[in-house]
Amino acid sequence: EAAVTQSPRSKVAVTGGKVTLSCHQTNNHDYMYWYRQDTGHGLRLIHYSYVADSTEKGDIPDGYKASRPSQENFSLILELASLSQTAVYFCASSPGQGFSDYTFGSGTRLLVI
Amino acid sequence: GDQVEQSPSALSLHEGTGSALRCNFTTTMRAVQWFQQNSRGSLINLFYLASGTKENGRLKSTFNSKESYSTLHIRDAQLEDSGTYFCAVATGGNNKLTFGQGTVLSVIP
Protein backbone atom coordinates (compact mmCIF):
# COMPACT_ATOMS: atom_id res chain seq x y z
CA GLU A 1 0.00 0.00 0.00
CA ALA A 2 1.29 3.43 -0.94
CA ALA A 3 2.28 5.44 2.08
CA VAL A 4 4.26 8.25 3.63
CA THR A 5 6.59 7.13 6.39
CA GLN A 6 8.27 9.49 8.83
CA SER A 7 11.15 8.87 11.16
CA PRO A 8 11.70 9.18 14.00
CA ARG A 9 8.21 9.06 15.54
CA SER A 10 9.41 11.26 18.37
CA LYS A 11 12.60 12.96 19.39
CA VAL A 12 14.02 15.01 22.22
CA ALA A 13 16.68 17.48 21.12
CA VAL A 14 18.90 19.90 22.96
CA THR A 15 18.76 23.61 22.21
CA GLY A 16 21.43 24.49 19.66
CA GLY A 17 21.76 20.95 18.39
CA LYS A 18 21.10 19.70 14.88
CA VAL A 19 17.96 17.74 14.14
CA THR A 20 17.07 15.86 10.95
CA LEU A 21 13.57 14.57 10.31
CA SER A 22 13.15 12.08 7.50
CA CYS A 23 10.27 11.26 5.20
CA HIS A 24 9.88 8.50 2.64
CA GLN A 25 6.96 8.06 0.22
CA THR A 26 5.97 5.16 -1.97
CA ASN A 27 3.12 7.01 -3.73
CA ASN A 28 5.22 7.97 -6.75
CA HIS A 29 4.13 11.56 -6.12
CA ASP A 30 6.11 14.49 -7.45
CA TYR A 31 5.29 16.85 -4.59
CA MET A 32 6.39 16.52 -0.98
CA TYR A 33 5.76 18.88 1.90
CA TRP A 34 6.74 19.54 5.50
CA TYR A 35 4.12 21.03 7.80
CA ARG A 36 4.31 22.01 11.42
CA GLN A 37 1.49 21.71 13.95
CA ASP A 38 1.51 23.52 17.25
CA THR A 39 -0.77 22.41 20.05
CA GLY A 40 -4.33 23.46 19.39
CA HIS A 41 -3.65 24.80 15.90
CA GLY A 42 -3.84 23.79 12.30
CA LEU A 43 -0.87 22.87 10.13
CA ARG A 44 1.47 25.42 8.58
CA LEU A 45 3.72 24.83 5.61
CA ILE A 46 7.49 25.00 6.18
CA HIS A 47 9.08 23.76 2.94
CA TYR A 48 8.00 21.81 -0.09
CA SER A 49 9.50 20.26 -3.20
CA TYR A 50 8.13 19.33 -6.62
CA VAL A 51 11.24 17.66 -8.02
CA ALA A 52 14.33 15.91 -6.71
CA ASP A 53 17.30 18.15 -5.83
CA SER A 54 15.07 21.20 -5.51
CA THR A 55 13.18 22.68 -2.55
CA GLU A 56 10.98 25.73 -2.07
CA LYS A 57 10.12 27.86 0.93
CA GLY A 58 6.67 27.62 2.42
CA ASP A 59 4.97 30.03 4.77
CA ILE A 60 7.24 29.62 7.81
CA PRO A 61 10.71 28.57 6.53
CA ASP A 62 12.89 30.49 9.00
CA GLY A 63 15.10 28.21 11.07
CA TYR A 64 14.55 25.21 8.76
CA LYS A 65 16.26 23.72 5.74
CA ALA A 66 14.98 20.96 3.50
CA SER A 67 16.61 18.38 1.26
CA ARG A 68 15.08 16.25 -1.53
CA PRO A 69 17.79 13.85 -2.70
CA SER A 70 15.32 11.64 -4.60
CA GLN A 71 11.65 11.55 -5.53
CA GLU A 72 10.95 9.26 -2.58
CA ASN A 73 12.84 11.08 0.18
CA PHE A 74 12.44 14.49 1.74
CA SER A 75 14.21 15.66 4.90
CA LEU A 76 13.68 18.59 7.21
CA ILE A 77 16.79 19.95 8.93
CA LEU A 78 16.99 22.13 12.01
CA GLU A 79 20.60 23.29 12.09
CA LEU A 80 20.29 25.01 15.48
CA ALA A 81 17.23 23.73 17.28
CA SER A 82 15.39 26.23 19.45
CA LEU A 83 12.70 25.90 22.09
CA SER A 84 10.16 27.50 19.76
CA GLN A 85 10.57 24.60 17.34
CA THR A 86 8.92 22.18 19.72
CA ALA A 87 5.96 20.93 17.69
CA VAL A 88 4.60 17.99 15.72
CA TYR A 89 5.95 17.80 12.19
CA PHE A 90 4.02 16.21 9.35
CA CYS A 91 5.33 15.18 5.98
CA ALA A 92 2.95 14.80 3.04
CA SER A 93 2.98 13.93 -0.63
CA SER A 94 0.66 14.76 -3.51
CA PRO A 95 0.61 14.18 -7.26
CA GLY A 96 0.44 17.90 -7.96
CA GLN A 97 -2.76 17.95 -9.99
CA GLY A 98 -5.62 18.53 -7.61
CA PHE A 99 -5.11 17.63 -3.98
CA SER A 100 -7.56 14.83 -3.47
CA ASP A 101 -4.66 12.39 -3.17
CA TYR A 102 -2.83 14.30 -0.47
CA THR A 103 -1.29 11.74 1.89
CA PHE A 104 0.14 12.57 5.28
CA GLY A 105 2.64 10.69 7.36
CA SER A 106 1.92 9.90 11.00
CA GLY A 107 3.92 12.83 12.31
CA THR A 108 7.11 13.35 14.31
CA ARG A 109 6.75 14.77 17.79
CA LEU A 110 9.79 16.98 18.50
CA LEU A 111 10.59 18.32 21.94
CA VAL A 112 13.45 20.79 22.19
CA ILE A 113 14.82 21.28 25.71
CA GLY B 1 -5.68 37.73 7.83
CA ASP B 2 -6.56 34.06 7.93
CA GLN B 3 -7.99 32.74 4.69
CA VAL B 4 -9.75 29.80 6.31
CA GLU B 5 -11.92 30.14 9.40
CA GLN B 6 -13.56 27.20 11.11
CA SER B 7 -16.46 27.17 13.53
CA PRO B 8 -17.19 26.19 16.15
CA SER B 9 -13.74 25.83 17.71
CA ALA B 10 -15.06 23.04 19.95
CA LEU B 11 -18.17 20.92 20.03
CA SER B 12 -19.58 18.23 22.33
CA LEU B 13 -22.10 15.74 21.03
CA HIS B 14 -23.92 12.92 22.75
CA GLU B 15 -23.69 9.59 21.00
CA GLY B 16 -26.38 9.24 18.36
CA THR B 17 -26.83 12.95 17.76
CA GLY B 18 -25.47 15.11 14.97
CA SER B 19 -24.26 18.54 14.06
CA ALA B 20 -22.52 20.58 11.39
CA LEU B 21 -19.04 22.05 11.24
CA ARG B 22 -18.39 25.06 9.09
CA CYS B 23 -15.45 26.35 7.12
CA ASN B 24 -15.54 29.92 5.76
CA PHE B 25 -13.10 31.28 3.19
CA THR B 26 -12.15 34.91 2.81
CA THR B 27 -11.62 34.54 -0.94
CA THR B 28 -12.95 32.28 -3.67
CA MET B 29 -11.41 28.81 -3.45
CA ARG B 30 -11.28 26.08 -6.10
CA ALA B 31 -11.79 23.19 -3.76
CA VAL B 32 -11.72 22.15 -0.14
CA GLN B 33 -10.47 19.10 1.70
CA TRP B 34 -11.65 17.87 5.09
CA PHE B 35 -9.43 15.88 7.43
CA GLN B 36 -9.97 14.19 10.74
CA GLN B 37 -7.08 14.11 13.19
CA ASN B 38 -7.71 11.15 15.43
CA SER B 39 -6.65 10.51 19.01
CA ARG B 40 -3.28 9.15 17.85
CA GLY B 41 -2.62 12.35 15.92
CA SER B 42 -2.94 10.83 12.45
CA LEU B 43 -4.56 12.88 9.69
CA ILE B 44 -7.23 11.05 7.76
CA ASN B 45 -8.64 12.27 4.45
CA LEU B 46 -12.40 12.57 4.67
CA PHE B 47 -13.57 14.49 1.62
CA TYR B 48 -12.22 16.40 -1.31
CA LEU B 49 -14.79 18.66 -2.98
CA ALA B 50 -14.52 20.99 -5.95
CA SER B 51 -18.30 21.54 -5.90
CA GLY B 52 -21.58 20.13 -4.62
CA THR B 53 -22.03 17.47 -2.00
CA LYS B 54 -20.36 14.19 -1.07
CA GLU B 55 -21.51 11.62 1.42
CA ASN B 56 -19.73 8.74 3.11
CA GLY B 57 -21.54 6.80 5.76
CA ARG B 58 -22.51 9.15 8.58
CA LEU B 59 -20.58 12.05 7.13
CA LYS B 60 -21.69 14.48 4.46
CA SER B 61 -19.90 17.53 3.13
CA THR B 62 -20.96 20.38 0.91
CA PHE B 63 -18.94 23.07 -0.85
CA ASN B 64 -20.41 26.36 -1.96
CA SER B 65 -17.69 28.19 -3.87
CA LYS B 66 -19.95 31.11 -4.73
CA GLU B 67 -20.65 31.92 -1.09
CA SER B 68 -17.19 30.79 0.04
CA TYR B 69 -17.97 28.15 2.59
CA SER B 70 -18.03 24.42 3.18
CA THR B 71 -19.79 22.32 5.78
CA LEU B 72 -19.20 18.90 7.28
CA HIS B 73 -22.28 17.21 8.70
CA ILE B 74 -21.98 14.39 11.19
CA ARG B 75 -25.03 12.29 12.05
CA ASP B 76 -25.47 9.52 14.58
CA ALA B 77 -22.17 10.45 16.21
CA GLN B 78 -20.07 7.62 17.64
CA LEU B 79 -17.28 7.71 20.21
CA GLU B 80 -14.68 7.03 17.52
CA ASP B 81 -15.71 10.26 15.76
CA SER B 82 -13.99 12.23 18.50
CA GLY B 83 -10.99 14.19 17.30
CA THR B 84 -10.13 17.41 15.56
CA TYR B 85 -11.62 18.20 12.16
CA PHE B 86 -9.72 20.43 9.77
CA CYS B 87 -10.68 21.95 6.49
CA ALA B 88 -7.93 22.98 4.10
CA VAL B 89 -7.70 24.73 0.76
CA ALA B 90 -5.00 24.95 -1.87
CA THR B 91 -3.54 28.43 -1.98
CA GLY B 92 -1.07 29.72 -4.51
CA GLY B 93 0.29 27.00 -6.76
CA ASN B 94 1.92 23.64 -6.13
CA ASN B 95 -0.93 22.28 -4.01
CA LYS B 96 0.21 24.05 -0.88
CA LEU B 97 -2.53 23.65 1.71
CA THR B 98 -3.77 26.33 4.08
CA PHE B 99 -5.53 24.85 7.08
CA GLY B 100 -8.22 26.20 9.31
CA GLN B 101 -7.68 26.17 13.05
CA GLY B 102 -9.79 23.06 13.47
CA THR B 103 -12.91 22.02 15.38
CA VAL B 104 -12.35 19.78 18.38
CA LEU B 105 -15.20 17.29 18.53
CA SER B 106 -15.91 15.34 21.69
CA VAL B 107 -18.50 12.59 21.50
CA ILE B 108 -19.77 11.65 24.93
CA PRO B 109 -21.73 8.57 25.96
State whether residue B93 sits within 8 Å of chain A by CB. Answer: no
Give the pLDDT of residue A99.
65
Q: What is the DSSP string of A60-113?
A: S-TT-EEE-SSSSEEEEEESS--GGG-EEEEEEEE-SSSSTT-EE---EEEEE-
Chain B: closest CA distance from residue A65 (Å): 17
Mutation to test the A interface, candidates B96, B103, B104, most A Cβ within 10 Å = B96
pLDDT tens digits, one per residue of B80-99:
999 999 999 987 667 788 99
Q: Which residues contact B37 (CB under 8 A, 6 or more apart)?
A: B43, B44, B83, B84, B85, B86, B102
pLDDT tens digits, one per residue of A26-68:
999 999 999 999 987 889 999 999 999 999 999 999 999 999 9
